[in-house]
Structure 1
Amino acid sequence: MTGVLLLLAAVAALTAHTWVNATRWLRRPAGGPVEVAEAVAVLLPLRDEADRVTPCLESLLAQRGVPGLRIVVLDDGSTDGTADVVRAVADDDDRVTLLTGVAPPPGWLGKPHACHQLATRADPAATALAFVDADVVLAPYAVAAAVAELRAARVTLLSPYPMIVTRTPTDRLVQPLLQWLWLTFLPLRAMERSPRPSLAAAGGQFLVVDRAGYANAGGHAAVADRVLEDIELARAVKRSGGRIALADGSRLATCRMYDDWPQLRDGYTKSLWASFGHPGAAAAVVAALLLLYTAPPLVALAALVAGAPAVAAVAALAWLLGVAGRAVSARATGGRWWPDALGHPVSVVVLGWLTARSYHLRKRRRLSWRGRPVS
């Protein structure tokens, strides 16, 4: 019984931390009309995105509140006609510049190199840079609101995390874990105040940076060989003396990251090893997550079968508190919480399997993304 009570206490503390982060410390840029006076460059890297770039680019062209907005698009070796789609959507709009990317040199991964090329070609007058992925669709005032929050928070880098669109059961099992993990385990206020690079998080789908601070941190050249270039860029900003912040961007942007299970599986597999570092650390974290969030319903069931209703009740309460944490996270970031949160124990099991697969394929040098090796 003592072990189950300790488990309950740990889950309760973590759920309380999720609630505090979500209700007190999570920044929420205004989604309504806002205007910024400075020039902003929106940077869009593309590689084989012909099927999804149209809504993204249309939303960029529809941005309001940024009179000095310029859009720079990089076609990074696409073979599916992405550049033709961009030209058709832009329709000679003089705010859009389309670049043809070059292959990454030795020591560079594809995404950091594409972002580096974009940043170096952005309008010199732009004092803020907004990096946007092709699977993101922005609300009309999204860029203005994000830049305004960047300045109001007095930070160098702001990551307004989009609302993740989920349409399949596997989407709903895995994708909400992104927001849940940092709301549950990352002290947001401490992250903003602390200069420690290890205390950092960011999402590259929609990222806004002060241009001078970005250059001072070394830009994407400082993270040339990093799979998680967004998080590593945030760490580089901290190492250079800058500050970072996370925000709920669910009112500013939506993101449909993967179209199906194979894409989702491979997308997580390519990068999870980089999230944890040493395999021993990954094993410890996954074991802790399984103990805290997957074991309680199993213990409750076993206790009922064994005729120990008190133990079963405590274990069931631990499960429900874990579910509550997942629900708080979803409600705070524009996600769907019912009935998805009830399957949280299964979500953690899938995350553990994806992590093991990531290390397994990396050891065999079989990790790749969009036709390029990532390790």
Structure 2
Amino acid sequence: MNLPRRAVRRLVVTGAGIAGYGAAVAAANRIALPRLTPGAVVDEPVTVVVPARDEAERIGAVVSDLAAQRGLARLRVLVLDDDSSDGTAEVARRAAGADERITVIRRTDPPPPGWTGKAAACAAAIDRAGAAAATGTVVFVDADVRLAPDALAAAVTLLRRADAGLVSPFPCQETGSVLERLVQPLLFWSWFALLPVAVAHRARRPSMAVACGQFLVFDAAAYTAIGGHAAVAASPTEDLDLARALRRAGFHTLAAAAGPLASCRMYDGPRPLVAGYTRWLWSAFGSPAGAAAVVALYLLAYLVPPSAAVLARGPVRRWGLAGTGAAVASRLLARATERGRPAWSDLPAAGTHPASVLAFASLTAESIRARRAGRTAWKDRRLP
């Protein structure tokens, strides 16, 4: 009887220790992570690409946001409608109105063999931009992102101040359904409570790169040097792989908090969320094996201690309570940083962290199964 009890105690203590590490990293990152700050003025050329496929309900808002950007002397926006069937291009043109800085392109060719649709669309838009995208800054913004008027100028200013090849400002993740509220905060938290950015930003190791494809800001010369999206043509996580390619080429990359200057409702309801995460979670940590290892670590740190806090007694329960408190602290610190304001109102959501981790584990397992079965797809297109 004693051996199992000792093993359980070690398991709980280990899990609580990992959760404590996550809280400590989150506290350090709360201080160290760069933020976008408004009020900047940018003189260099800025080319913005918005790839869009069946985004008629959202494209008008982001086009209007881009037209309202300030502090940019030379802005050009290319919206690429990737063979949409819902009138995305027409909505984008109406939103652009007479703004000569905004061009809407409709592309009907399927992605070349070995390319994802998004990578092909981004590459096609850059080809269309030609020499205009070879200097200054190149920005990629998803159709579901909302931008405050100072967002682009602030991001470009941070890129230049850091002398970086890429800045990835993380938009604040907005949620609607119960499943979104469980899962979406993990997009930011998952690296914020794991990776000390003060180390990751200096080290330049590809394995420590962080990026969010919703909003990517490149030095144009660095983007060209690695071959642009052709370098990650088949990747379901092209954002991370672009950052890794830049680091392998010797460029500096960094993540930043974009809230409250940028926000995104990534998936509109539980069904799109499940389909979206199934498409790419298998590769989020380098490989299916890497994803499985991270899930196991999360379950140990964020499911075992709360279970012990409820079911155990004595010292084991106290360790479980300590681990649970550390998990809640890391979630609150991450959400406050992501939003750019205090997040005490998120305390009830932070208390559901074990359920969030279970949902994440289930989505990761489904993504790995889908990859092995060759059925990963997005918007009616099978992924390479």
TM-score, reference length from structure 1: 0.95
Aligned with residue 114 of structure 2, among 107, 111, 133: 107
Moved more, 277-286 or 125-134: 277-286
8 Å contact from structure 1 (residues 217, 239) kept in 2: no
What is the SS of the residue equivalent to 2:72?
Answer: coil
Q: 1:153-192, aligned counterparts within 5 Å?
A: 153-192=162-201
The one-letter amino acid of 1:95's match is: R
Q: How far, CA to CA, are the matches of 1:5 and 1:75 in structure 2?
A: 52
Deviation at 1:172, TM superposition (A): 1.2
Name the counterpart of 1:195: 204
Aligned length: 369
Aligned with residue 210 of structure 1, among 219, 222, 246: 219
Q: Deviations over 1:125-164 (max 9, x none)?
A: 4510111000001000111110001000110100010011
What is the SS of the residue equivalent to 2:303?
Answer: helix
CA-atom RMSD in angstroms = 1.5
Aligned with residue 29 of structure 2, among 21, 34, 42: 21
Aligned with residue 328 of structure 1, among 323, 326, 333: 333
Matched, 1:54 2:63: no
Aligned with residue 352 of structure 2, among 327, 343, 346: 343
Moved more, 2-11 or 94-103: 2-11
Aligned with residue 93 of structure 1, among 83, 99, 105: 99
Q: How far, CA to CA, are the matches of 1:338 and 1:8 in structure 2?
A: 19
Q: How far, CA to CA, are the matches of 2:15 and 2:72 in structure 1?
A: 50
The one-letter amino acid of 2:25's match is: H
Q: 1:303-314, aligned counterparts within 5 Å?
A: 303=312, 308-314=313-319
8 Å contact from structure 1 (residues 218, 236) kept in 2: no
Deviation at 1:80, TM superposition (A): 0.5
Deviation at 1:3, TM superposition (A): 4.3
The one-letter amino acid of 2:346's match is: W
Q: How far, CA to CA, are the matches of 2:288 and 2:148 in structure 1?
A: 40
Matched, 1:287 2:296: yes
8 Å contact from structure 2 (residues 232, 238) kept in 1: yes
What is the SS of the residue equivalent to 1:283?
Answer: helix
Q: How far, CA to CA, are the matches of 2:361 and 2:349 in structure 1?
A: 18
Aligned with residue 88 of structure 2, among 57, 64, 82: 82
TM-score, reference length from structure 2: 0.93
Aligned with residue 41 of structure 2, among 17, 20, 35: 35
What is the SS of the residue equivalent to 1:366?
Answer: coil
Name the counterpart of 1:5: 13
8 Å contact from structure 2 (residues 281, 291) kept in 1: no
Q: Deviations over 1:191-238 (max 9, x none)?
A: 222232222110011110000011011110100110100110111111
Name the counterpart of 1:128: 137
Deviation at 1:5, TM superposition (A): 3.2
Q: How far, CA to CA, are the matches of 1:211 and 1:54 in structure 2?
A: 26
What is the SS of the residue equivalent to 1:22?
Answer: helix
Name the counterpart of 2:4: none
Aligned with residue 276 of structure 2, among 267, 272, 290: 267
The one-letter amino acid of 1:252's match is: L
8 Å contact from structure 2 (residues 47, 137) kept in 1: yes
8 Å contact from structure 2 (residues 22, 193) kept in 1: yes
What is the SS of the residue equivalent to 1:130?
Answer: strand
Q: How far, CA to CA, are the matches of 2:164 and 2:158 in structure 1?
A: 9
What is the SS of the residue equivalent to 1:158?
Answer: strand
Q: Structure 1 195/313 Cα, relative in aligned 2: closer, same or farther at 3 Å?
A: closer
Name the counterpart of 1:240: 249
Q: How far, CA to CA, are the matches of 2:53 and 2:318 in structure 1?
A: 52
Q: How far, CA to CA, are the matches of 2:20 and 2:171 in structure 1?
A: 27
What is the SS of the residue equivalent to 2:110?
Answer: coil
What is the SS of the residue equivalent to 1:207?
Answer: strand
Deviation at 1:2, TM superposition (A): 4.6
Q: How far, CA to CA, are the matches of 1:311 and 1:53 in structure 2?
A: 52
8 Å contact from structure 2 (residues 15, 304) kept in 1: no
The one-letter amino acid of 1:88's match is: R
The one-letter amino acid of 1:167's match is: G
What is the SS of the residue equivalent to 1:251?
Answer: coil
8 Å contact from structure 1 (residues 41, 123) kept in 2: no
Q: Structure 1 6/46 Cα, relative in aligned 2: closer, same or farther at 3 Å?
A: closer
Q: How far, CA to CA, are the matches of 2:263 and 2:226 in structure 1?
A: 28
Q: Deviations over 1:175-200 (max 9, x none)?
A: 00011111111221222222322221
The one-letter amino acid of 2:20's match is: A
% identity of equivalent residues: 43
8 Å contact from structure 2 (residues 171, 215) kept in 1: yes
8 Å contact from structure 1 (residues 70, 123) kept in 2: no
Name the counterpart of 2:308: 299
Q: How far, CA to CA, are the matches of 1:299 and 1:6 in structure 2?
A: 12
